[in-house]
Amino acid sequence: MTIPTETDVLIVGGGPAGALLGCLLARRGINVLVAEKQASLAREFRGETIAAPSVVTLHRLGFGPALGERGYLRTAAVSMRMEGRQVMRVDYGRFPVGQLPIDIPQPSLIGVFNEAARSLPGYAYAPGTSFTRLLERDGTVRGAVLRQQDGSSVEVRARLVVGADGRFSKVRKEAGLTARIQPMERDFLWIKLPRPADWGNDAELVVDRDKHLVVLPTFPDYLRIGHNIPKRGMGALRKEGLEAFRAGIAAIDPRLGPLLEEHVRTWDDTGFLEIFTAEVDQWARDGLVLIGDASHTCTPILGQGVNLALQDSVCLSPLIARALDRTKPQDPVPASEFSEFIASRRKHKQLVTRFQRIQEAALAKHTPLQTLVRRARFRTLDRLPLKYALFNKVINAPHAVDPADLRAPAPVRP
Ligand SMILES: Cc1cc2nc3c(=O)[nH]c(=O)nc-3n(C[C@H](O)[C@H](O)[C@H](O)COP(=O)(O)OP(=O)(O)OC[C@H]3O[C@@H](n4cnc5c(N)ncnc54)[C@H](O)[C@@H]3O)c2cc1C
């Protein structure tokens, strides 16, 4: 495709945040270019869980039928087993939100947004196109330089550049917006296994002292297993060998033993995820705003990464439309237009991170006394009505958006 050299909004990154924002802006008749580094939607495993509030929102935005056509799995509950005993189960059907969380491969999710936007006037999608640097004048962002697949560069002028380029955001770096990276004590190794027919639809956290597995039923017929490993522990793990790795997982959850034997044959059957949180003090500059993982990276606990990314886009799209209308044509959008957005989204993300840190600390306990106390605590929480109130606050936090902005489809500006 020929990349437009001028647009209202240039979105760098076509992950869940960038793809949805591109579609919502195009629906409003705003000229938008989504530049995505990867040439195809096929991608290594990423977060595939969409929390219930975002499922509600996607339906309100009219994406329900398209999501249904691609296919997804509803998650019934999250349950927790510790040292072989179930200590807690949270039934997602008991929350007032009215939808269950779903598990959908990222290429399907992003494909739904791209497909809905494809034929809208003013929308352009540039796959295989990487952001290299910002165009700036007088301290204001005016666009960006993109590198195309053939190695050539193109300058794109935009009234707003949106950095939606994920956890290692180059836009953030080039804009001089610093992220405070806080590594978690452990990293993760992911594997995907065929799901036995009688497995059920609970997301499970299986804990044995300071080792744990996240076991997620995944569309169409997989289990995604996340296994915590020590920080910088990949080398030692490889040295011990694949057999020991498989045995270690089977010791935590014996049901997985035969599946691992059959389906994890090389280290290529595993995927590494470095776990850290990133806090960014400043999310916007004149002419630029960050969203999704670029503005705040969280951990995989409770599968909130995609949820937060989608909510950013839903909340931001009406504000961008308003800001473009309020700013003189051709002028960059001032950062002040996004102050409220940033304050409210930051609050939500901080709540999630705080909860994730508490969980991570609990999962790192390993002495017999510590694990006994931990089991007792979770069992007690399991019996209290407070359990649903607490989880509801973290995973079903509503996002501040005018219901009128969730009409399906949103109006196209003349
Ligand atoms: C291996 C892995 C496992 C994960 N597991 C979970 C999980 O279990 N649960 C959970 O909730 N979350 C998980 N996450 C996080 C989740 O995937 C993210 O929170 C979510 O995808 C964030 O969406 P995003 O659009 O902000 O960023 P991303 O999904 O990271 O998308 C960013 C996009 O920007 C593109 N890009 C990057 N640099 C450039 C550039 N220079 N120019 C142009 N494009 C660029 C990338 O190709 C990508 O498509 C995982 C992430 C990874 C990497």
Q: For residue range 289-304, what is the model confidence (pLDDT) as tens digits?
A: 999 999 999 887 777 8
Q: Which residues have any ligand 1 atom within 6 Å of their CB? A: 12-18, 35-38, 45-47, 49, 130-131, 164-167, 170, 271, 273, 292-293, 300, 303-306, 309
Query: In sequence order, what are the beta bridge partners of 158?
Result: 7
Average pLDDT, the chain: 92
Residue 353's pLDDT is what? 85
- Give the residue-averaged pLDDT of 350-372: 88
Check residue 408 and report its DSSP letter.
Answer: S
Sign of the four-CA dihedral 146, 132, 128, 45: negative
Residue 414 clears pLDDT 60, i.e. is over it: no
Please say whether the beta carbons of 51 and 179 come within 8 A. Answer: no
Question: So what's the pLDDT on residue 396?
Answer: 83
CA distances from 53 to 306, 307, 352 (A): 12, 8, 14
Type of residue numbered 151: G
Lowest mean pLDDT among 157-161, 240-244, 272-276, 320-324: 272-276
Banded model confidence at residue 410, pLDDT cuts 50, 70, 90 = low
Closest to 19 measured CA to CA, from 1, 33, 2: 33
- pLDDT on residue 402: 64
Q: What is the pLDDT of residue 412?
A: 59
Q: Quick one: pLDDT at residue 411? A: 55
CA atoms within 13 A on the CB side of 207: 25
Q: Sheet with 73-74: list strands edge to edge.
A: 49-50, 102-103, 73-74
The secondary structure of residue 243, as a DSSP letter, is: H
CA 147 to centroid of ligand 1, rounded, Å: 20
* Cα-to-centroid distance, 18 and ligand 1 (Å): 10
The answer to whether residues 188 and 35 touch, using CB atoms and an 8 Å cutoff, is: no
Sorting pLDDT into bands at 50, 70 and 90, what band is 1?
Answer: confident
Atom in ligand 1 nearest the alpha carbon of residue 19: 25
Task: Quickly state the pLDDT bin for 184 (edges 50, 70, 90).
Answer: confident
- HSE, side-chain direction, 13 A CA sphere, residue 119: 3
> What is the separation of C-alpha 108 from the centre of its chain, rounded to a whole number of angstroms?
14
Q: Residue 299, SS3?
A: coil
How distant, in Å, are the alpha carbons of 27, 111, 116, 367, 389 from that of 106? 22, 8, 16, 38, 29
Mean pLDDT for the stretch of residues 402-411: 63
Q: How confident is the model at residue 361 (pLDDT cuts 50, 70, 90)?
A: confident
pLDDT tier at 413, thresholds 50, 70, 90: low
The residue nearest atom 7 of ligand 1, judged by CA position, is 47
Distance CA(270)–CA(225), nearest Å, equals 10
pLDDT digits (tens, 9 = 90+) for 48-77: 999 999 999 999 999 999 999 999 999 999
**How, if at all, do strands 284-285 and 288-290 pair?**
antiparallel
Strand, coil or helix: what is 1? coil
CA 18 to ligand 1: nearest atom: 25
Contacting residues for 6 by C-beta, under 8 A, at least 6 apart: 156, 157, 158
Alpha helices in 37-105 (DSSP H): 52-60, 64-70
Show the domains of the chain with their CATH numbers.
Answer: 6-182+276-406 (3.50.50.60), 185-273 (3.30.9.100)
Residue 398 CB: number of other CB atoms within 10 A? 11
Closest ligand 1 atom to Cα of 38? 47
pLDDT of residue 76: 95
Instruction: Average the pLDDT over 255-271 and give the result.
Output: 95
Q: What is the pLDDT of residue 376?
A: 95
Lowest-pLDDT range, 22-36, 252-266, 383-397? 383-397
64: Cα within 13 Å, side-chain hemisphere = 13
CA distance 80 to 379: 10
Residue with tokens 């994890």: 264
pTM: 0.94
Chain centroid offset of residue 24 CA: 18
Query: According to the model, what pLDDT value does residue 390 have?
Result: 86
- Helix 16-27 / helix 106-118 crossing angle, nearest 10 deg: 20
Q: What is the pLDDT of residue 47?
A: 81
Which carries the bigger pLDDT value, residue 389 or residue 145?
A: 145
Looking at residue 404, what is its pLDDT?
66
Q: Is the pLDDT of residue 314 over 80?
A: yes
Tell me the CA–centroid distance for residue 131 and ligand 1, in Å: 16
Q: Which atom of ligand 1 is nearest to the CA of 305?
A: 19
Name the DSSP letter for residue 291: -
Q: 157: pLDDT confidence band, cut at 50, 70 and 90?
A: very high
Helical packing angle, 386-395 and 368-383, nearest 10°: 100
CA distance 268 to 386: 43
